[in-house]
Amino acid sequence: DVLGSRGLGDVYKRQEYHEREYEGTRFAFYLNYNESAVTVNGVNGHDLISNEEINGDMVIERLGVKIVKCTPA
């Protein structure tokens, strides 16, 4: 899967987005292969790496990873 539908514009081919469910909880994995930061829109949940809440836009640093425990809709 790629993040093309997640507002990343022309660089969508250099990101990956994977979603998995475990014991009723959804987790989203974002990988940024770019040499610059990217913004992903519409993310709601808790980043398990940085320990921050995300409500809306999320920045993934260059060559970065985010693992988000998603908030139920």
Distance of alpha carbon 71 from alpha carbon 73, whole angstroms: 6
Answer yes or no: is pLDDT of 57 > 60: yes
Q: Mean of the pLDDT values across residues 39-66? A: 94
CB 30 within 8 A of CB 5: no
CA distances 21 to 25, 38, 50, 59, 62, Å, are 5, 25, 20, 23, 26
Q: Which residue has the higher pLDDT, 72 or 51?
A: 51
